[in-house]
Amino acid sequence: MSAILAVGSLAFDTIETPFGRVEKELGGSCTYFSLAASYFAEVRPVGVVGDDFGPEQEGVLRRRGVRLEGVERIAGKTFHWGGEYHGSMNEAKTNFTHLNVFEKFQPKVPAEFAASEFLFLGNIQPTLQVDVRRQARGASLVCGDTMNYWINNTRAELTEALKIMDVLLINDAEAKAIGNDANLPRAALKVLALGPKALVIKHGEYGATIFFREGAFGIGRHPFRAPALPLDAVRDPTGAGDSFAGGFVGYLASQGAVTRETLKRAMFYGGVMGSFAVEDFGTRRLQNLTREQIEERFQIFRELTHLG
Amino acid sequence: MSAILAVGSLAFDTIETPFGRVEKELGGSCTYFSLAASYFAEVRPVGVVGDDFGPEQEGVLRRRGVRLEGVERIAGKTFHWGGEYHGSMNEAKTNFTHLNVFEKFQPKVPAEFAASEFLFLGNIQPTLQVDVRRQARGASLVCGDTMNYWINNTRAELTEALKIMDVLLINDAEAKAIGNDANLPRAALKVLALGPKALVIKHGEYGATIFFREGAFGIGRHPFRAPALPLDAVRDPTGAGDSFAGGFVGYLASQGAVTRETLKRAMFYGGVMGSFAVEDFGTRRLQNLTREQIEERFQIFRELTHLG
């Protein structure tokens, strides 16, 4: 089993949905990623928190075996995001974004973690992503994320970051924006031409598709689609995409080998972890799962899509 | 093999997409449905056309073995729709709708077709759908379609029509409108409570999901998802949903028995026929397929979704 180095945000979220409201709930893309991936491999987040990130928050991660040596604590407050969801709950309305200590984040990979075999570059400034990749000297598979803000405002830096990613995980709108094409499969081909060997496009409630660059991983370019679970009670969609990434990278790390079959299963485990994440507020559902529950849901995903 | 009676529009379409433009191309929901279903079973459309629907148009249907005894010809012009697609091409902009002879359409099921085992109630006035079902005395499986216009303007009549449908095939927006719920699986449950044993919700480029009423067909209520093919060149999306319905009902008719397994495969064949339809303008791609090409694509759909 390989270890995963992951960079991104650890944060507090204040969230309102039709199902209720939580204040200063443990969140952040790297937190969701780490908890989801922790069921498959050892996870080593690299991030920054403030004085208000206490034993309670650390305990949630420690209990899942997450290594906290790369989480720097500095004076000030932790990143705090506030948002709400209504209607189809497909999009958050942001109420506030207090970057706080995250604003000047300079990721430092602890020397003992530089040999981690898997690297996940969460959604941070592309130049920082490149810097982390340089520090993570032992990484043999680099997965990454980005968002519209970087696509629109730091295109040159993002182009450099895409060159160092083996697998990019983004959503439909981000793929269309990077590829500058309204047709998703065409946009995917254009994104792949920028560097990544594989591109995972997350379609929210419709699942996700992985596209391959010709010859990547020696497995041909036929795409593969994994479903999302039709859920009649999505309590809080925050972190679904990061949890997908955690399940995806986590499963690959647990298998070591990156083959067409492990990538396909990783897509399913991504969907599985995303489906758990949205069943309760924040990271609550991701804190106390068992491998049996994960395998059970994997079977539900299989039955949802497989012919007899 | 069972025969399929299908009611709906036979029409001309004038269509513009980024790939070109066609004038008075053979179209109409019942035409797409009939051609797609014709690869699986004998199809018997019930519709109305005008003087301008000539041997050329009839020949297209006849060559696929479609029985035209139920297509009435009356003085006047055939239904003519004009529209265009841009950007993601997910939605048509309607330029004109000339109902012409279709405006006073009174479906008459030929006596010799009243025993058809499968019935497809295309997207027409719900009261007419109920009337056709009454005429089609031998139908043992009734599938149907509807659209936002009927949902918004003839709700009481639609409610009656839903009671006589075994399988309703609609898209996301229609399901949410009928169920009056922004959450798709919840909306699905509400639609099923109105009558249908099964509900197929078509997600466009993301595939389709079938939801079951508890106990329907004796197969439990777990949903099933079929993919759509990621296509980098959708030349003309017109008729994709009707072609899906044709593949779905056609396959069921070819098998006779309605079981969980045949319904799952029908979902795949629906996606297969929809994927062919959009590859060329109008019904062109549906006119000259072979069963081998259909089976080949079925395998591509399987590989797109199935773990090893």
DSSP string of A191-208? Answer: HHTTS-SEEEEE-GGG-E
Q: A294: distance to nearest CA of chain B, Å? A: 17
The phi and psi torsions of B269 (rounded to 5 degrees) equal: -65, -30
The phi and psi torsions of A290 (rounded to 5 degrees) equal: -120, 160
Distance of CA A184 to the CA centre of its chain: 20
Tokens representing residue A178 in the block: 């990077």
A223: closest chain B residue by CA? B304
With a cut of 80, say whether residue B118 has pLDDT above it.
yes
Burial annotation A120-151 (CB, 10 A radius, 16+ → b, else e): bbbbbbbebbbbbbebbeebebbbbbbbeebb
Burial annotation B146-159 (CB, 10 A radius, 16+ → b, else e): bbeebbeebeebbe
The residues with which B120 forms a beta bridge, in sequence order, are B6, B143
Q: Between helices B55-63 and B29-37, what is the axis angle to 10°?
A: 30
Tokens representing residue A139 in the block: 């990484």
Q: Is A268 on the interface with B (CB under 8 A)?
A: yes
The pLDDT of residue A270: 98
The pLDDT of residue A215: 84
The phi and psi torsions of B247 (rounded to 5 degrees) equal: -65, -40
* CA atoms of B95 and B97, how far apart (whole Å): 7
Q: Is B214 on the interface with A (CB under 8 A)?
A: no
Confidence of residue A43 (pLDDT cuts 50, 70, 90): very high
Residue B137 three-state SS: coil
Nearest neighbour of B186 by CB, restricted to A222, A232, A307: A232
Q: Is B225 on the interface with A (CB under 8 A)?
A: yes
SS percent in chain B: helix, strand, coil, step 5: 40, 20, 35
Cα distances from A193 to residues A159, A178, B143, B180, in angstroms, run 11, 11, 44, 43
* CA atoms of B9 and A156, how far apart (whole Å): 52
| Residue among A82, A80, A87, A78 at smallest CA distance from A16 | A82
The pLDDT of residue B173: 96
Regarding an ipTM greater than 0.85, the answer is yes
Contacting residues of A for B300, CB less than 8 Å apart: 222
* CA atoms of A196 and A161, how far apart (whole Å): 10
* CA atoms of B60 and B25, how far apart (whole Å): 12
Q: How many other C-beta atoms can be found within 10 angstroms of the C-beta atom of residue B248?
A: 34
Please give the torsion angle defined by the CA atoms of residues A299, A305, A306 and B3, in that order, rounded to the nearest 10 degrees: 140
> Each residue of A67-108: pLDDT tens digit?
999 999 999 999 999 999 998 898 899 999 999 999 999 999
Cα distances from A256 to residues A250, A252, A262, A268, B93, in angstroms, run 10, 6, 9, 17, 50
> Each residue of A2-26: pLDDT tens digit?
999 999 999 999 999 999 999 999 9
* CA atoms of A133 and A306, how far apart (whole Å): 38
Q: How many other C-beta atoms can be found within 10 angstroms of the C-beta atom of residue A285?
A: 21
Tokens representing residue A61 in the block: 């991660």
Distance of CA B129 to the CA centre of its chain: 14
Nearest neighbour of B182 by CB, restricted to A87, A176, A230: A87
Contact yes or no for A230 and B304 at CB 8 A? no
Average pLDDT, chain B: 96
* CA atoms of A114 and A134, how far apart (whole Å): 9
Contacting residues of A for B275, CB less than 8 Å apart: none
Nearest neighbour of A223 by CB, restricted to B189, B304, B307: B304
> Each residue of B7-36: pLDDT tens digit?
999 999 999 999 999 999 999 999 999 999
With a cut of 90, say whether residue A285 has pLDDT above it.
yes
Nearest neighbour of A209 by CB, restricted to B182, B230, B261: B230
Residue B82 per-residue DSSP state: E
* CA atoms of A292 and A284, how far apart (whole Å): 18
pTM of the model: 0.96
Contact yes or no for B185 and A303 at CB 8 A? no
A203: closest chain B residue by CA? B206
- Given a contact cutoff of 8 angstroms between Cβ atoms, the answer to whether A54 and A14 are in contact is no
Helices (H), B136-193: 148-153, 155-163, 172-179, 184-192
* CA atoms of A240 and A245, how far apart (whole Å): 9
> Each residue of B187-233: pLDDT tens digit?
999 999 999 999 999 999 999 999 999 888 888 789 999 999 999 88
Q: Is B257 on the interface with A (CB under 8 A)?
A: no
Confidence of residue B291 (pLDDT cuts 50, 70, 90): very high
Share of chain A above pLDDT 90, in %: 94
List CB contacts of B239: < 8 A, sequence separation 6 or more: B27, B29, B31, B32, B277, B278, B282, B283
Burial annotation B36-56 (CB, 10 A radius, 16+ → b, else e): bbbbbbbbbbbbbbbeebeee
Q: How many other C-beta atoms can be found within 10 angstroms of the C-beta atom of residue B95?
A: 12
- Given a contact cutoff of 8 angstroms between Cβ atoms, the answer to whether A199 and A168 are in contact is yes
Confidence of residue B256 (pLDDT cuts 50, 70, 90): confident
Query: Nearest 5°: CA angle at A204, between A198 and A208?
Result: 30
